[in-house]
Chains A and B, each alone.
Chain A
């Protein structure tokens, strides 16, 4: 029986959504506080890594689902299982939550006892055959009403964390959260993972498609997507701050005031693939090639430093330290 379960557990698709936002805390959290924040379970570890950046990852928690899968062609496929949710905090400053699950190509036509789903965390089984292409597209498009909603689960965890008593609920600057939906198609073991699509859509939405060999766990893919989402958030946020008219058009101390938070809270966060599974690190190369994530970051940082340097030359000394 256990063997039979294992067989059907082989997934053909892994899907997830990452939400990235600024932690609502005036000061960045240190390692201890980060571990306290992310202790979603009393008896489970929060993974804390101090190098090369301070990074904390919560235990994984499950949400049970029994609903239709999102599909692009309107086909109605009921699915039952558990969705994994987890949260990560980078440099005590950027908070992320991910919800993800894997799906096998087919499942039984009846619902099993719940305990059998629980022992395979993160697996959602379709009733009958899975329409792979339509499901992948449906997940990227987003859930319709009543369909399995990764965004709801990720946002629910994020909301609970933002309410944590540890946080003073003060943000050093306003910023917009982003969400990245991703789909990984499984391929035979031993083949090389690849990134086939990364799209920046409107409304803070990003979508991403990859190919993932059978032996790489979905959690590793989630980790890669979190890393990309984090750096994409940095690019988006800093670009937006620079585009703001009050920085673009004016001079004087207000420029310093507007750019100050970027320098204090964000510039040091750029550290691609710092906590990515070695089997997936090379997927960054595609984005470094085009559009050139790190090149763009270099350019933005230089612009900010130049603006501030220029300001320093023309402004009396005391005006440079806002408040």
Chain B
């Protein structure tokens, strides 16, 4: 059998691979309210996180003698804009350092919506494949019409048929329920004046996919880290690259698995993230690359993408909202 002589590149697309660590460890996620609470809040946060970081590293060491772990940190500039990179980033880095932590990669939340002019969130939305409730034979309306994603069947709405039967309330049903349902319905975006605002869980799902090395745009890697050697940071968030590399670590940003450390108030959000991840048809080429390489290193990843993400939810340090005024 001879190889074909004639080729057309547009007819044979390829998926480029990305470098991969063993674990992507997220040290925190900063919102405006955290910032407004001042540097003490941040200090408390990192002090708590430090303990769990050690635990996570110990856990990773069970899989590999020399685990490649990269750390990252996310700052919200999407839902609320506050402060400036010039003011904020040095403070974050300083407090982390005080706790004995190193932040390798730093990202802006808006990068999960649009990075380098590529609409990541939009692309991920096109890849949603809803988990079919029993009885789905191929005719469900696509999710893009509703903007909501559930883990089962919603309570039926009133029939508008003129003489249709009127039924009482019927409960929703979780598709994978064990005896009883835990039904969840997640809002993926809202729209106002023709402008689409992605929801926090949806952007967090995009963030997880980026950390798991599963995002591509026309086969090319996206959200590629840019080296940032300078101590100085811009005065405008838009002038900061979406993802920057702050250290000269050899551990890549993306990894086979992720671990995220966060206060327990994010539990509901991250549950929603898992619900979303469980219903995304990830780029097949990227998926294969990760499976092959992790298998080759003797640390094969779970088949389902959502299973590759782990979390540590810890108690909100000190000044939590209920404890205010004490």
State if A and B touch, Cβ cutoff 8 Å. Answer: yes
Please report A residues at the B interface, Cβ cutoff 8 Å: 1-2, 5, 40-45, 47-51, 61-68, 78, 80, 82-83, 99, 111, 113-116, 118-119, 121, 143, 146-150, 152-153, 156, 278
Contact A64 B8 (CB under 8 A): no
Which secondary structure dominates chain B's binding surface? loop
User: With A44-B218, A47-B13 in contact, is A114–B176 under 8 Å at CB?
Assistant: yes
Task: For B282, list chain A residues within 8 Å (CB).
Answer: 118-119
Q: Which residues of B contact A150 (CB under 8 A)?
A: 138
The 3 closest A-B pairs by CB, nearest first: A115-B304, A64-B132, A43-B123
* Assembly CA distance A152 to B300 (angstroms): 37
With a cutoff of 8 Å between Cβ atoms, the chain B residues found around residue A121 in the complex are 281, 284
The interface residues of chain A lying within 8 Å CB-to-CB of B173 are none
Cα–Cα distance between A41 and B129 once the two chains are bound (Å): 12
Contact residues of A: prevailing secondary structure: mixed
Question: Taking the complex as formed, is B175 at the interface, i.e. its CB lies under 8 A from any CB of chain A?
Answer: yes
| Given known A-B contacts A1-B302, A49-B8, A67 and B134 have beta carbons under 8 A apart | yes
Q: In the assembly, what is the distance between CA of A113 and CA of B275, in Å?
A: 11
User: Complex Cα distance A49/B134, Å?
Assistant: 40
- In the bound assembly, the distance between CA atoms of A68 and B283 in angstroms comes to 28
Q: How many whole Å from B139's CB to the nearest CB in chain A?
A: 5
Q: Answer whether residue B278 sits at the interface, using C-beta atoms and an 8 A cutoff.
A: yes
Query: How far, in angstroms, from A2 to B256 measured CA to CA in the complex?
Result: 14
Query: Which of B132, B218, B305 is within 8 Å of A43, CB to CB?
Result: B218
**Interface 1/0s, chain B 270-293, versus A by CB < 8 A?**
000000011111111001000100
Are the CB atoms of A43 and B279 closer together than 8 Å?
Answer: no
Interface pair B279/A51, CB less than 8 Å apart: no
Q: Nearest chain A CB to B149's CB is how many angstroms away?
A: 11
Q: Is the CB of A118 within 8 A of B11?
A: no
- Tell me how many residue pairs across A and B have CB atoms closer than 8 Å: 137
B133 in the interface, Cβ–Cβ < 8 Å? yes
| Residues on A with beta carbons closer than 8 Å to the beta carbon of B175 | 66, 111, 114
What residues on B are CB-neighbors of A63 within 8 Å? 129, 132, 138, 140
Interface residues on B, range: 35 or more
CA distance A44 to B307 in the complex (A): 24
User: Do B281 and A118 touch across chains, with their CB atoms under 8 A apart?
Assistant: yes
Given contacts A49-B8, A51-B8, A113-B176, contact A42 B126 (CB under 8 A): yes
Q: Which of A44, A50, A119, A146 contacts B137 (CB 8 A)?
A: A146
Chain B residues, Cβ within 8 Å of A65: 132, 136-138
Chain A contacts of B279 at CB under 8 A?
114-115, 118
Q: What are the residues of chain A within 8 A of B135 when measuring CB–CB?
A: 66-67, 146
- Knowing A1-B302, A45-B219, A67-B135, the reply to whether A115 touches B277 (Cβ < 8 A) is yes
**Besides the contacts A5-B303, A51-B6, A115-B306, what 16 more A-B pairs have beta carbons closer than 8 Å?**
A2-B302, A2-B303, A41-B123, A44-B283, A49-B10, A62-B281, A64-B132, A65-B137, A65-B138, A67-B132, A114-B175, A118-B279, A119-B282, A119-B303, A153-B138, A156-B139
Q: Is the CB of B137 within 8 A of A147?
A: yes
Q: Which of B122, B138, B215, B218 gathers most chain A CB within 10 Å?
A: B138
